[in-house]
């Protein structure tokens, strides 16, 4: 698991032996969401949410959206072409 960055006390991570489609996990104390990074020109989209509040999830999703290029680059470094 590689923590790419932190936002509001949450970790945005990519697991080393994860699966397609390119996505990140937003992990906090007792909560986790999975967010698909989408294809070129698409915005990231929520796959699952287990315990994040709407406000915290919205803030984390906005940061994932702003950092999408970095996250796709890191996904490729870990898993190969996205």
How many domains is the chain built from?
Answer: 1
pLDDT digits (tens, 9 = 90+) for 37-79: 998 889 999 999 999 999 999 999 999 999 999 999 999 999 9
What domain range includes position 35? 2-48+56-79
Q: Is the peptide bond before 69 cis (omega within 30 degrees of 0)?
A: no
Q: Is 12 exposed, middle or buried (0-12, 13-18, 19+ CB in 10 A)?
A: buried
The pTM of this model reads: 0.92
């Amino acid at each position: 698991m590689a923590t790419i960055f932190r936002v509001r006390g949450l970790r945005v991570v990519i697991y080393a032996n994860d699966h397609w489609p390119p996505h990140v996990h937003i992990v906090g104390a007792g909560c986790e969401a999975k967010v698909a990074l989408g294809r070129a020109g698409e915005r990231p989209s929520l796959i699952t949410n287990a315990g994040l509040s709407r406000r915290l999830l919205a803030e984390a999703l906005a940061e994932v959206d702003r950092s999408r290029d970095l996250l796709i680059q890191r996904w490729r470094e870990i898993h190969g072409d996205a």
